[in-house]
Structure 1
Amino acid sequence: MCSLRFPLWFSQPSNRPHRSQGSSSPSSYSAAAAVGVGIGLSLSITHNFINQRNPLLLSALNSIFSNFRPHCSIPMMGSISLANDSSAATEPRTGMSFPSILNNTQRLLGIGLRKKSILVKNIDVYAFGVYADETDIKNLLSEKYGKLSVSALKENKEFLEDVLEKDIGMTIQLQIVYGRLSIGSVRSAFAESVGGRLQKFGGSDNKELLNRFTSLLKDEYKIPKGTVIDISRDKDHLLRITIDGKDAGSIQSKLLCRSLFDLYVGEDPFDKQAKENIEQNLASLVIQ
């Protein structure tokens, strides 16, 4: 099955079975792709010439090539699929790798990239993966949405609202890309982005809640490139942060959880392509 929702390279487990002689190698796939491109270019260049000299020949060629279809098993750039058995998915722009399953129960739904403009330059700040507990999704959403199609769910705004509002176990995993990032910069960025969402969903009187959240990101934490920060919504809307596996603290707040996850799957997400893939896979989980 071919899917072109957004580009990812999937890393494969190291204990792959030995290829049989009849299987195709990556080089043969590349050669096939190159031949296909060459055919397309040749047809494009000669189209007008044949049309002018011999319209009957053009008609015959059109008939032949109208039956040609690219073989969908060519491993080009794909998107995260719930049927994919890879142990990890790699964000192609940064090379950061995300496990397909987190905390034994949460499934990877999509990965993306957080960029930030500094003066006239765009900085890749961190790659992120969004996870959700498969059992929670089915238990809390299938009764309401299970009979709808995936395409219908993607058009249903109430569906994502329920994902953000209900007590569904979810995690956003951040993997730091920008090597000169400080925890103070992360704290300031979240103060701005989360603060805006808190005001949007809960009104203006949430400064204390915002301060409690940003105070979890203490100056003692060093976050060089490759640092992993997990922001999780646990049972009863308990927001928990871990940095490289160390517990940084937690806050119980439905409003704070909603505001944070809205940055990645809400109406105005950090990475729109990532959100589309997350939404697609959420819908697929509900109707399974």
Structure 2
Amino acid sequence: MATNTKPEMAKEEVAVEVEPNTGVPFPVKLDDGKLQLNCVGVRRKSILGLGIKVYAFGIYADNEKLKDLMKSKIGTAPPAPTKEMYDVVIESDVPMMIRMSMTFSNISNTPLVKSGFADDIAGTIKKLNGGKRNDELSKMVMGPLSDNVKLKVGSLIEIYRLSGYVLQTKVMGELVSKVDSELLCKTMIYFYLGHDDLDKEAREKFGMFLLSLF
């Protein structure tokens, strides 16, 4: 007797953008359908005099909300990206996400990753907080992530800025931290978009994306 079966729906293939310095692919949109990729870049650090590519990153955002924000705060498109445009994004609570993919082969030292990242964030907090450093707040980004967790090449860390200035961190899909802090939310976005010494090309590409919203 014949049975009625429906062919399985093929899962939609999502396009990716490859970070050119590391070869790491980033999906251009996430499963929630709202956050979309707007630029990719790489975090470099000098360790023992060597330039190390620690991780590749992609910056995602709710582009519809960013479009509304740009038009309400900026009005008409300037001829080139401006500091004011970046500042509007940093100061807002439009949902965004930084996805980091580990690329350094010796990255498995989780305590070193946590302390190095916290130090980066603490330095940025100092810039935004009238010269006052807040080490306790900076450590909250990674929360109580166990030192027993072994990061490896390809491990993903995702840091979300949610509406209402809530910062949420997932490591390999597991929620490790959720902090209600406007300062910390602004700090995370500023770290990637507020200055061009992290990855100038990524920052400039995000600026061109902002212009495209007008």
TM-score band w.r.t. shorter chain: 0.7 to 0.9
User: Kindly, what percent of the aligned residue pairs are identical?
Assistant: 34
1:216 to 1:257, Cα distance in 2 relative to 1, 3 A: farther
Conserved? CA contact 1:262–1:269, under 8 Å: no
Number of matched residues? 199
* Cα-to-partner distance string for 1:212-241 (whole Å, 9 max, x where unaligned): 334343313221100011011011111011
Runs (4+) of structure 1 moved beyond 6 Å? none
CA distance in 1, matches of 2:195, 2:180: 24
Aligned to 1:267: 195
- Give me the whole-angstrom Cα distance separating, in 2, the residues matched to 1:265 and 1:254: 16
The match for 2:74 is: 145
| C-alpha contact 1:263 1:269 (8 A) present in aligned 2 | no
Alignment partners' CA distance in 2, 1:129 and 1:105: 15
Where does residue 95 of structure 2 map in the other structure?
Answer: 169
SS state at 2:191 partner: helix
Q: How many angstroms does 1:208 deviate by?
A: 2.8
Deviations 1:142-199 (A, max 9, x none): 12324224x34x0x21111110001111111000001211221221112221101111
CA RMSD of aligned residues (A): 1.9
Larger radius of gyration: 1
Unmatched segments (≥5 aa) in structure 2: 1-13
1:136 equivalent in alignment to 2:62: no
Richer in strand (by share) = 2
Secondary structure in 1 matching 2:21? coil
More helix by share: 1
TM-score by length of 2: 0.86
- Give the corresponding residue for 2:8: none
* Distance across 1 between alignment mates of 2:133 and 2:54: 30
Q: Give the Å deviation of 1:140.
A: 2.2
Counterpart selection for 1:198 from 106, 125, 129: 125
Q: How far, CA to CA, are the matches of 1:174 and 1:123 in structure 2?
A: 15
Q: Determine the structure 1 residue equivalent to 2:84.
A: 158
Measured against aligned partners, the alpha-carbon deviations of 1:96-118 in whole angstroms (never above 9, x if no partner) come to 10000123111111101111111
Shift of 1:205: 5.5
TM-score, with length taken from structure 1: 0.65
